[in-house]
Amino acid sequence: MKTRLNLALVFCLLSAAARADEGMWMPQQIPQLAERLRAMGFRGEPQAFADLTGQPMGAIVSLGGCSASFVSPDGLIVTNHHCVQAALQFNSTPQKNLMEDGFLATARDQELTAGPGSRVYVTSSVVEVTGEISGKIDPKLDDRARHEVIEKRMKERTAACEKDGSRCRVASFFDGLKYYELAQMEIRDVRLVYAPSEGIGNFGGETDNWQWPRHTGDWSFYRAYVSPAGKSVPYAKENVPFKPKHWLKVSPEGAGPGDLVFVAGYPGKTQRFATYAQTKELYEWTFPRTVRRNTELIALLDEIGKKSKETELRVATRKRGLNNTLTNRKGVVEGFKKGDLLGMKEVMEKDLASWTAADPQRRKKYGDVLPALNAMQAGKEKTRDRDATLYDLLGAGGPTMAGGSSLLPAAHTLYVMSLERPKVDLDREPEYQERNWSRIREAQDRMQRSYDPGADRALLKYILVEASKLPAGQRIEALDKEAGFVSGMSEADAGKKADALCDRLYAGTKLGDKAARLQLLEKSTAEILAAKDPMIDLAAALDPLWQANRERAKTREGALERLGARYAEAVLEKSGGLTAPDANSTLRVTYGRILGVPARDGLVFSPQTTLAGVAEKATGSGEFNAPKKELDAIAAQKAGKKTPYLDPKLGSVPVNFLSTVDTTGGNSGSATLNAKGQLCGLLFDGTFDTVASDYLYDTEKTRSIHVDSRYMLWAMSEVDGATNILQEIGEAPSLDVSAPGR
């Protein structure tokens, strides 16, 4: 293992600066930041980050929504506990609830499949392809035709890239100013190795979510498997652990206050390049709608979950997703209010407009951009209530989404699949190309583990009643006809109509049966409609509006590919400096210091928490139900029991820490690297005060929350007895570890 780390990163401990450093940087940008990093004390080689096949970047992987990293030569992967919830739910029963109890495989043959659709993506290359995608486009083309050209080029480029078996993607950066092609190895056999109990992995629950101080053990382990020939194949008993070229050492030393740290992962989405009008809609309409809707859906699922343990288990991950988004959006709204972020955005945009107007060449180059973008935004807002509700009905309730029903979106997928299958692959919609057919099938397979008929019916009824309230001019006419809704009807009457429609749908549909769904995936449109399944018939009736919306969206996309790129170019030209693009689920690197923050008047947050805080918060029930074995181990440590993971300055084992790194959703599970280039923690959350930085960055208060590697190692040794994992990652377990696992 030591020979793999000869490219260790060397940092200096300096006095901590109070400002966060904005930037979720592309790895190839890091060498351009050498001067900044040296000023912060970095003594390593910035080029190491640009080498995606070297150390440490070759160890960083994506799970398709979360980040992770290899930590052993046998494909062992560490990520967040909340990133493996779907795998825990997939393998749980009311009699053996792994979501509560956790799981530990003490031998390879005990490791559990993470379930259909689980993936590990290992990035092998990132190549700029701007010229190939957006170059030499006839300027006379209208926006719809322009989008068609770009989409076709992206499909062709992706197909060529995937000929060697890679999973490829062409991603837009700076709103279409740049395009890069990403090639990844897609590992399809993913197995659950270890997850601590809920009392460690989700300690504090929703009460502590997005809050500081935290005491959450948010870590778990997967393993990637491939065929004996080293190829990516579905789950099979004869598969063997994947052998990564690079992996990270899990640090027994961690990192401390003032230390410079790097975080590498796959942040999801930020919108810092959004216009004032776009940001205004988010603040005034999108976020309040989400807060109201999620609050009501959580209450609905709480009530439904009381019916049985089975139902409670099936809705658990959906409810957790709704809660997480709810807390985040509340924080964003509050952040906008406290910091007057919308006012700041308006000032910035007016400043940009003045800068543009001050120079004839800039007026010619950029003068029409902002008015055109604003006109587009105004047009989009005219039907936003209807369009968002239609998405809630057909697109937001799938097996990996937290929205409404699962059956109606499944019916729509089956119907659209039948329309797309006869086409030439290049003419199919991107999500229905043949490269995605196995994913569609896996999603329909996996849905069964989270599907509950009563919960699904209640969620669909909720969205139907929401649709009944749509204003005149934004009605979903096909739904009005099916349900008998009329504009202006009372909510009570709408509820009765929705109930009657749900009665017909759920009494007549066969889509609750997995085999029936999978069989229909192969059928023609005529065969699907001949089944006379009422859920499919409703989806088919709603599809014309869905397709019309898709066409309008493509026209907008064509305009955005033209205008957004120029807007971003203007912002970059005006700033005159190196800038990171908005996050877009591609591999990024961010850096900062372990540092506390002034929370509010008279209160300062220190940057670390310890085991003492776990014991203080533990109540023995609910969200603070720490395992008795952990509390006993904490008491033993306090009484003087030695552990190699003790921080002498703290006099305890550190649990979580704050840093100034710039992160967002998707960064969950990202590796945090310390002074030796070792994994000193895992990024798992942000603070409530700074979630609005996704839209306008706060250089003073932005903080991210990490679980300390020393807490991971201590709990694995003293609480869960994960001796086999400790040995695999090169950590000798404590001599008195007796528990072989659960």
Three-state secondary structure string covering 93-121:
CCCCCHHHHCEECCCHHHCEECCCCCCEE
Over residues 428-446, the mean pLDDT reads: 95
Quote the distance between the C-alpha of residue 244 and its chain's center: 24
Q: Considering 82, 215, 246, 412, which one is annotated as catalytic?
A: 82
CATH class for the domain made up of 10-105+248-269+584-728: mainly beta
The string of pLDDT tens digits covering residues 393-434 is: 998 654 344 568 999 999 999 999 999 999 999 999 999 999
For the chain, which residues make up each domain, given as ranges? 10-105+248-269+584-728, 122-186, 276-558
Give the model's pLDDT for residue 19.
58
Q: Is the pLDDT of residue 569 over 90?
A: yes
What predicted TM-score, i.e. pTM, was given to this entire model? 0.91
Rounded CA separation 321/403 (Å): 9
For CA atoms 605, 610, 612, 615, the dihedral sign is: positive
Catalytic residue flag (residue 218): yes
The verdict on whether omega for the bond into residue 598 sits within 30 degrees of 0, i.e. cis, is no
Over residues 380-387, the mean pLDDT reads: 96
Burial of 306 (0-12, 13-18, 19+ CB in 10 A): exposed
The string of pLDDT tens digits covering residues 624-647 is: 999 999 999 999 999 889 999 999
Task: Give rounded-to-5 percent helix, strand, coil for the chain.
Answer: 50, 15, 35
Rounded CA separation 1/20 (Å): 33
Give the model's pLDDT for residue 13.
29
Tell me the CB-side half-sphere exposure of residue 225, using CA atoms within 13 A. Answer: 22
Q: Is the pLDDT of residue 76 over 70?
A: yes
Pairing of strands 178-187, 189-195: unpaired
Give the model's pLDDT for residue 175.
95
Give the model's pLDDT for residue 726.
97
Rounded CA separation 251/166 (Å): 32
Give the model's pLDDT for residue 396.
62
Q: Is the pLDDT of residue 742 over 60?
A: no
What's the start-to-end Cα distance of the chain, in Å? 29
Strand stretches in 472-627, DSSP E: 588-593, 597-600, 603-605, 608-610
DSSP secondary-structure letter at 652? Answer: B
Q: Considering 585, 659, 668, 734, which one is annotated as catalytic?
A: 668
The string of pLDDT tens digits covering residues 163-209 is: 999 999 999 999 999 999 999 999 999 999 999 999 999 999 999 99
β-sheet bridge partners, residue 679: 250, 673
Amino acid letter, residue 349: E
Rounded CA separation 118/65 (Å): 11
How many other C-beta atoms lie within 10 A of the C-beta of residue 737?
16
Give the model's pLDDT for residue 738.
37
Give the model's pLDDT for residue 580.
95
Catalytic residue flag (residue 668): yes
Give the model's pLDDT for residue 268.
95
Q: Considering 21, 175, 218, 537, which one is annotated as catalytic?
A: 218
3-state DSSP call for residue 114? coil
Give the model's pLDDT for residue 407.
95
Rounded CA separation 329/336 (Å): 11
Rounded CA separation 453/447 (Å): 12
Tell me the CB-side half-sphere exposure of residue 676, using CA atoms within 13 A. Answer: 17
CB neighbours of 258 closer than 8 A, spacing ≥ 6?
13, 14, 15, 16, 593, 594, 595
Residue 567: phi and psi, rounded to 5, are: -65, -45
Q: Is the pLDDT of residue 442 over 80?
A: yes
Look over the chain and give the mean of its residue pLDDT values, rounded to a whole number. 92
How many other C-beta atoms lie within 10 A of the C-beta of residue 138?
8
Residue 425: phi and psi, rounded to 5, are: -55, -35
- The closest of 285, 323, 312 to 402, measured between CA atoms, is 323
**Tokens at residue 319, please?**
């409810």
The string of pLDDT tens digits covering residues 308-341 is: 988 998 998 889 889 989 998 998 999 899 889 9
Q: How confident is the model at residue 577 (pLDDT cuts 50, 70, 90)?
A: confident
Q: Is the pLDDT of residue 737 over 50?
A: no
Give the model's pLDDT for residue 92.
93
Q: Is the pLDDT of residue 386 over 60?
A: yes
Catalytic residue flag (residue 82): yes
Q: CA gyration radius for the chain?
A: 26
Q: How confident is the model at residue 732 (pLDDT cuts 50, 70, 90)?
A: low
Q: Which of 100-114, 116-130, 599-613 has the lowest mean pLDDT?
A: 599-613
Give the model's pLDDT for residue 733.
59
pLDDT > 90 fraction of the chain, expressed in percent and rounded: 84
Rounded CA separation 452/377 (Å): 38
Give the model's pLDDT for residue 739.
35
How many residues does the structure list for the chain? 742
Place of tokens 């979360």: 66
